[in-house]
Structure 1
Amino acid sequence: MSHPKEAVGMAFDLSLMRHASEQSWRAVRKMAQTFQPGLRESEASTLAMEILRDLGMERIWHPVHVRFGANTVKTFKQKSEGDPVLGEDDIYFIDIGTVFQGHEGDVGATFTTGSDPGKAACAAAAKALFDDVRGVWAERGLSGPALYDYAAQRAEAMGWVLNLDIQGHRVGDFPHAIHRGGDLGEFEGTPQAGVWVLEIQIADRDGRYGAFHEDVLI
């Protein structure tokens, strides 16, 4: 890596970063198949950990976050309000930070139950915006601040509000924290593949619910 904030350990392997991401997505898909209306948020988090262990996760590097309903507008550092039950026409997201073969996965996605059109649109918009910004990163090599400026403009044009308190971060071979890479949204260089997570969190204009999507830029 050419920039000190992108430093990695001797064990770093891009193919293993890809593997960690793929295993993490496998876990998220299994969770989404398992979570059903009537489940409490706390119960979903417990189930999530069971699924991760079954898939051979070595450890988590950040706590599992499952957010239901109105809690989907909360950031990673904010606590959920109460212990809500997943409803029949609801929205929720899953955010996991896992270690597979010594490398860190960090993925998140939003799902809905039932057929509420606004919530379905919100979930789809978070994924679409993520894909849009990732495409700009791959094609134009924008800096971290430029990527999030672009994301905010696109979110506004799409009719959603981007939460700019969430601006991505470093990952790598465990533990990435020793390299002190900071947030993607503050990184002035061109982000290199395999060491930065792009995070997108949006909400409807009234702040009733939100959606989240993240993955390692590879």
Structure 2
Amino acid sequence: MDAAAKQAVGSKYLFESMKYAQGKTWEVVDRLAQLIQPGMLESEATALCNDVLKEAGMERIWHPVLVRFGENTLKTFKQRSDGDPRLQPSDIFFIDLGVVWNQHEGDAGATFVVGNDAEMKACADAAKTVFDEVEQHWRLTGAGGTALYDFAAQRAEALGWRLNLDIKGHRVSDFPHAIYKAGDLGDFADCPDAGLWILEIQLAHPARPFGAFYEDLLV
């Protein structure tokens, strides 16, 4: 499949609608981050996410709500959480939402820290920093998806973290994007078009059992 086919969109697609879906998804992520508190079970936080999304007027979810606490922040999207951990007073968690708004796919995720663990805070900050640096590299150089993830791995290592290269980003568009079978961003050799690709960054602490995640639409 050539690059044009991998970046195909449906008849409903509008860049402005992708931006709208992006913004609405981030609104919910930020709201949920304030509602998730120490003492909650991971399953309770996931249920809360679903309730908040319904209240926000989502059309549907296009991928399952994902909330990870503590050591489960090292898990990839397709891996199950270990048990049902309770968020501790000093802990780390991330939220990953894939939601359809106005017939377009929003996908956003970020990591948050409760308590005063400096390394957890640094890890969460680093995931956003690496994302920002890779996004800027894309804008300045027009690098392809594979090159972007090579750059991400270099930047993560330079900052003292390990990049999980099993997480390589993916396509979005007007729902459903899956019909285009475009593969992962990290395997896409060409420069990704704006408004079509999610850049995902997942880091791991080099020694302690936790990580951090950040994703957003390349625009």
* CA-CA distance at 1:90 after TM superposition: 0.1
Alignment partner, residue 40 of structure 1: 41
Give the equivalent residue in structure 1 for 2:24: 23
Q: State the Cα distance separating 1:121 from its structure 2 match.
A: 0.4
2:9 equivalent in structure 1: 8
Structure 1 residues 110-142: Cα deviation after superposition (integer angstroms, max 9, x where no partner):
000010001000000000110110111111110
Structure 2 residue aligned with 1:155 = 156
Distance, in Å, in 2 between the alignment partners of 1:4 and 1:31 is: 36
Aligned to 1:85: 86
Aligned to 1:144: 145
- Tell me which residue corresponds to 2:98: 97
Distance in 1, matches of 2:99 and 2:200, equals 16
Aligned to 1:165: 166
Letter in 1 for 2:122: A
User: What is the DSSP-based 3-state SS (H/G/I as helix, E as strand, rest coil) of the residue aligned with 2:82?
Assistant: coil
1:131 lines up with 2:132 in the alignment: yes
Asked if the contact 1:45–1:66 (Cα under 8 Å) also holds between the matched residues in 2, the reply is yes
1:167 CA drift (Å): 0.2
Instruction: Give the SS at the match of 1:3.
Output: helix
Q: Say whether the 8 Å CA contact 1:73–1:207 is kept in structure 2.
A: no
| Secondary structure at 1:135 match in 2 | helix
TM-score after normalising by structure 2: 0.98
Alpha-carbon separation, structure 2, partners of 1:138 and 1:12: 22
Shift of 1:207: 4.9
1:114 aligns with 2:112: no
Q: Provide the rounded CA distance (Å) in 1 between the counterparts of 2:25 and 2:92.
A: 20
Q: How does 1:194-205 map to 2 (within 5 A)?
A: 194-205=195-206
1:72 paired with 2:69, answer: no
In structure 2, list runs of 5 or more residues that go unmatched. none
Normalising by structure 1, we get a TM-score of 0.98
2:33, 2:25 → 1: CA distance? 12
Q: How many equivalent pairs are there?
A: 218
Q: 1:206-217 alignment to 2 at 5 Å? A: 206-217=207-218
